Amino acid sequence: MNSQPFWRRYARFFGPDPAADVKDELRFHLEAKRDDLIAQGLSPEAARKEAERQFGDVRAVQNLGQKLGEKMEQHKRLQEYWAECLWDVRYTLRKLARDPGFAAVSILILGLAIGANVAVFSVVNTLLLRPLPFPKSQELVWIAPPPSSCGFSCATYSSDAYDEFRAESRVYQDLTGYFAFSTADNLRLTGRGVPEPATGISVIGNFFEVLGVRPAMGRLFTTDEARGKQPAALLANAYWRREFAADPGIVGKAIELNGTPVTVVGVLPDTFDFGGVFSPGAKVDLFSPLDLDQARDWGNIVTLIGRLKPGVTVAQALDDANRVAPDIYFNTKYPQTRGRYQGDLIPGQLKDYVTGKLRHSLIALWCAVGAILLIAGVNLSNLLLARATARAKEFAMRSALGASRSRIVRQLVLETLLLSGGGAVLGLGLAVLLIEWLSHQGSVALPLLGSLRIDAQAVAWTTLIAMGTGILFGLLPGLRMASGNLQEVLKDSGQGAGLGRKHERVRAALVITEVALACVLLVSAGLLLRSFVKVLDVDLGFQPDRAASIKIEYNDTAPSNEASQLKRGEIFRQIINRVSSLPGVEAAGISDYLPLGPNREWDTPVPQGKTFNPGELPDPLVYVVTPGFVRAMGIRLHGRDFTWADGPHSESVVMINASAARFYWPGEDAVDKILMRGSEADRVVGVVDDVHEESLEGATGAQIYYPATQQGPSGAQLVMRSEIEPAALGPSVLQALRELNPDQPAAEFRPIQSIVDRASSPRRFFMLLVGSFAGLGLLLAALGIYGVISYTVTRQKQEIGVRMALGATTSRVQRGVLLGTLRLAICGIALGTVGSVLTARLIAALLFNTSPWDAASYAGMVIALVAVALMSGYLPARRASHINPMVALRSD
Amino acid sequence: MDRDKLEFFRGTLDVLILKALVWGPLHGYAITSFIRNWSDDVLLLEEGTLYPALWRLESKGLLEAEWGLSENNRRAKFYELTAEGRRQLRQDTKNWQAYAEAVAKILGATQPLLPEDAA
């Protein structure tokens, strides 16, 4: 085929005015016809008329021709444009292929920056931007008082309160909740060989209906099941796959939980992740209906989740809650508990409850990757400028040969777009890996992590930032190039000319920007690191190292409460004696709750003989423990520990923490004082250090410890302190427990340190991310500095040669180059410090016990940057000092 | 000219134009003359319809146009077949012949069924 497209010819002859051409063509036809007719003997006038008659509607044909011509003209222009672009693309690819180092470095830089951006965007999108994974999730509200030191205990409500609030409120489609104080591995899957631990959550019967979760198989709970009349369970999808090998016939079968048969009524969908939404970092295996009647006297146990009627705002819901609150009882049996929840029933978006706390961290993270992208873009600009200087002659030649300025700019932008396109592909790949890794970090206590993925939005975002970077940072060198004086470049021998110097100034400014941005990143990372270290240094109130826990099973059913207490005491004593005698075990004890878990409270004890205003007394967090627990946990104790002699027949005893002691008896020794719970008196036998109850960073409130032989614990965690690595004890401890109780499941042997690690995991997570971004920023800044200094040295080769020929020493030349480097770095650091001070105020909310003006962080940043600058300057400096004056002077 | 006839005529016109250009470039007027002469004036061509057909063929890439001088030294637009146009002509000729043969055969029918089917 003809390589020249047909329209080129067409264009050459049809010309730019299709209308005139059509007219000409038709006129020729009519005239030729007329001439023929005249030759046949017609008069000129008759011949003209006959020609027009035979032709038909001249005007219509002419209009048609004009339209067709215009269309072809447009078509032609478009094709011409694309052909030129294609030509430019080919040209650019050829150019890039000739300089693979440049292309690789640019694509790598952009890929890293874009990858980080896409990954963080996906996290932000999942956690902040996207609605929760429930239908019409904007209608869902979480009802709780504003956050306070008492954690979950204050954020839960009694059965009576739930029923009444549900009956009285007018703004909800329905209300639901779940039992807030389940612990991990609280169930045993029995009847299938070795008992397996499982984590179950009791939910109010309508829980899944309110959330809008439909089962993947089977059905939800019936009313009878919801009232606890028939035991039923819904399996989490992952549990069904793992434990039951995705048995398609599981619905309707009975499984045995703690020895009781329970019917599996359904399997929940894959998309429903209870832990991801309500309890980050935890996995839940199955759900059973919560019997509210049975739990009437258990105190505050359920969380409150409501689905608002369509169109109802949160503010309206709050008004309604304030209207209802005075009539709500804590327990209808006790009239004085009416109105206890006033001010505590505050609906807020469920989404805010789930991810609201992370907003600041995520925005900071987003800014950090934004800064990385800026640095990468600036670096790219810098590289392009360096190349552009080298290519100035090529462009001057092209424009002398008739290439328009816009064409040259377009080609440069195209070059950047191609590079950023490559970067985008690489970045997307990196982001996919990163997100894949993140979404499997089950131990990081961040919500919704499991639903992280790269979706269409993330891909769109990638394209957007890649294009944006390409155009923004490619345009700068492009414009500079196009504005250059043609003649000057052509005459310029390439050294010391005006354009070169101008470029150098721009490049220096770019490097200073880069250093400043890296500086801000480094300071932020430094501050977060300091906060993290401070968090790790927090006095937990217990010694997590060398301690481990295991969930144990026991059966204390007995005809009476007292008999049950005696039986339990005996079981616990046996276990502790047996475990303590194992080699390597220093101390062992049992508690029903471990620190840094969900908490609970029972009563409001009153110190004997004192009066307080209502609401003034704290509701202490409750631990039910055996003798030996405080020692096994490494909690410091003043007074005495419980003993096995503290039983149902002896005096009621308690231990309290230092905060409680200070509150009840300020300035006095609390040991031997009496606390009243209603009519019951408890003697305080010991005061222990405050143990961080819910988080490492929050303040601690009042805590109270009851002996397991006098109060009913809810479950039992055996804690032991060992001389050796606790993990090594696992098998022997489990064996000892099995000997005592064959039903003991193969529960996880958990180092206490892992509980602490989990509590600090979100902070560690953010610190690691910001830290690696800062590292990346530093690396890019170093590359930028290196590029500029190296280029300067190349450009000044002759000058340096002359100076050396005139007697400048090697060290003097080196010093000169290094000083130039330092000048850039110091300008950047100065600018960056100002930026950091401004940024530090923004991230102040993320810091823990660290001032935003923390001197160590700033000093660290300065040292790191100066060191990196000197390192990047050293190589070019060495090269400069090795210049052979003779060679340099001779070469052009 | 009624509508049905025009439709029929258009398809025919394209192939006739292509045929006219087999021996070399011609301008529009010469194409009308060619068609008229070879059809012995039987096919009455409304000359105005020729040009839209020419432009359409040109935009499809079957023809190429160039301005040149006519036999009496007037500026005229000459059309020439492209390789694509030649291929199209071969194809169309074959189709037309098959079509015409089929129609002729049907019109020459002497009995309702073919002899072998009737047997």
Q: How does the average pLDDT of chain B come out, rounded?
A: 82
In a domain, B116, yes or no: no
A20/B contact by beta carbon, under 8 A = no
Residue B29 Cα, gap to closest chain A Cα (Å): 5
Assess whether pLDDT exceeds 50 at residue A734.
yes
In single-letter form, the type of residue at position A306 comes to G
In a domain, B23, yes or no: yes
B86/A contact by beta carbon, under 8 A = no
In sequence order, which residues have a C-beta less than 8 Å from that of residue A259 and are 6 or more positions away? A188, A190, A191, A743
- Whose structure tokens read 């144990």? A552
* Cβ A845 vs Cβ A360: under 8 Å: yes
Q: For residue B8, name the pLDDT band (cuts at 50, 70, 90).
A: very low
Predicted local distance difference test score (pLDDT) of residue A307: 94
Predicted local distance difference test score (pLDDT) of residue A208: 92
Assess whether pLDDT exceeds 70 at residue A766.
yes
pLDDT digits (tens, 9 = 90+) for A398-449: 778 877 777 777 787 788 888 888 999 999 999 999 888 888 776 677 777 7
- Residue in chain A closest to B49 (alpha carbons) equals A61
Predicted local distance difference test score (pLDDT) of residue A501: 65
CB contact under 8 A, A56 and B66: no
Predicted local distance difference test score (pLDDT) of residue A583: 84
B80/A contact by beta carbon, under 8 A = no
- Whose structure tokens read 């956050």? A147
CB contact under 8 A, B46 and A54: yes
A612/B contact by beta carbon, under 8 A = no
List, in sequence order, every beta strand (DSSP E) within A741-869.
749-751
Predicted local distance difference test score (pLDDT) of residue A310: 92
pLDDT digits (tens, 9 = 90+) for A168-179: 898 999 999 988
Predicted local distance difference test score (pLDDT) of residue A175: 92
A56/B contact by beta carbon, under 8 A = yes
CB contact under 8 A, A33 and B83: no
CB contact under 8 A, A28 and B72: no
CB contact under 8 A, B66 and A58: no
Which residue did the predictor score with more confidence, A589 or A505? Answer: A589
- Residue in chain B closest to A59 (alpha carbons) equals B48
CB contact under 8 A, B75 and A14: no
Q: For residue A2, name the pLDDT band (cuts at 50, 70, 90).
A: very low
Q: A204, A281, A210, A283: which is closest to A240 by C-alpha?
A: A283
Residue B47 Cα, gap to closest chain A Cα (Å): 4
CB contact under 8 A, A61 and B72: no
In a domain, B115, yes or no: no
Q: What number is the average pLDDT over the span A369-390? A: 82
Predicted local distance difference test score (pLDDT) of residue B9: 55
> For chain A, what percent of residues have pLDDT higher than 90?
8
Best to test chain B binding among A7, A9, A25 (most B CBs inside 10 Å): A25
B6/A contact by beta carbon, under 8 A = no
Residue B67 Cα, gap to closest chain A Cα (Å): 6
Assess whether pLDDT exceeds 70 at residue A695.
no
Predicted local distance difference test score (pLDDT) of residue A481: 63
In sequence order, which residues have a C-beta less than 8 Å from that of residue A659 and are 6 or more positions away? A690, A700, A701, A702, A703
Residue A627 to residue B66: CA distance in whole angstroms = 107
Assess whether pLDDT exceeds 60 at residue A494.
no
Best to test chain A binding among B66, B72, B77, B81 (most A CBs inside 10 Å): B77
In sequence order, which residues have a C-beta less than 8 Å from that of residue A521 and are 6 or more positions away? A368, A371, A372, A770, A773, A774, A777, A778
* Cβ A275 vs Cβ A283: under 8 Å: yes
Of A1, A56, A65, the CB nearest to B55: A65
* Least confident segment among A207-216, A262-271, A500-509, B67-76: A500-509
Predicted local distance difference test score (pLDDT) of residue B4: 38
Question: Using CB atoms and an 8 Å cut-off, which of residues 34-53 of chain B contact chain A?
Answer: 46-49, 51-52
The two structure tokens encoding residue A814: 């080196």
Residue B115 Cα, gap to closest chain A Cα (Å): 48
Q: What ipTM does the predicted assembly reach?
A: 0.83
Q: A270, A257, A286: which is closest to A215 by C-alpha?
A: A270
* Cβ A646 vs Cβ A707: under 8 Å: yes
pLDDT digits (tens, 9 = 90+) for A4-28: 444 444 444 445 577 788 888 888 8
Residue A721 to residue A634: CA distance in whole angstroms = 8
Which range, A163-167, A678-682, A707-711, is most confident? A163-167
Predicted local distance difference test score (pLDDT) of residue A396: 77
> For chain A, what percent of residues have pLDDT higher than 70?
91
CB contact under 8 A, B48 and A61: yes
CB contact under 8 A, B59 and A71: yes
Which range, A223-232, A325-334, A855-864, is most confident? A855-864
Q: How does the average pLDDT of chain A come out, rounded?
A: 82
A78/B contact by beta carbon, under 8 A = no
Predicted local distance difference test score (pLDDT) of residue A442: 65
- The parent domain of residue B103 ranges over 3-109
Residue A321 to residue A158: CA distance in whole angstroms = 16
Residue A42 Cα, gap to closest chain B Cα (Å): 18
CATH number at residue B12: 1.10.10.10
Predicted local distance difference test score (pLDDT) of residue A342: 79
Q: What number is the average pLDDT over the span A840-858? A: 84
In single-letter form, the type of residue at position A223 comes to T
Chain B contact set for A61 (CB, 8 A) = 48-49, 51-52
CB contact under 8 A, A58 and B48: yes
A29/B contact by beta carbon, under 8 A = yes
Residue B28 Cα, gap to closest chain A Cα (Å): 7
Predicted local distance difference test score (pLDDT) of residue A545: 82
Question: Using CB atoms and an 8 Å cut-off, which of residues 58-77 of chain A contact chain B?
Answer: 58, 60-61, 64-65, 68-69, 71-72, 75
Of B28, B72, B84, the CB nearest to A25: B28
Chain B contact set for A56 (CB, 8 A) = 46-49
Q: For residue B89, name the pLDDT band (cuts at 50, 70, 90).
A: very high
Assess whether pLDDT exceeds 90 at residue A796.
no
Q: A391, A342, A403: which is closest to A161 by C-alpha?
A: A342
pLDDT digits (tens, 9 = 90+) for A245-261: 888 888 888 888 888 88
The total number of structural domains in chain B stands at 1
State the count of interchain CB pairs (< 8 A) between A and B. 80
pLDDT digits (tens, 9 = 90+) for A194-227: 778 888 888 998 999 999 999 998 998 888 888 8
In sequence order, which residues have a C-beta less than 8 Å from that of residue A285 and are 6 or more positions away? A187, A198, A199, A200, A235, A236, A238, A239, A243
Of A9, A56, A72, the CB nearest to B47: A56
In a domain, B117, yes or no: no
Best to test chain B binding among A1, A4, A6 (most B CBs inside 10 Å): A6
In a domain, B87, yes or no: yes
Q: Alpha carbon A576 to chain centroid distance?
A: 42
User: Could you tell me the residue ranges of all domains in chain A?
Assistant: 6-98, 137-357, 360-537+758-890, 554-744
Assess whether pLDDT exceeds 80 at residue B22.
yes
Number of residues assigned to chain B? 119
CB contact under 8 A, A68 and B82: no
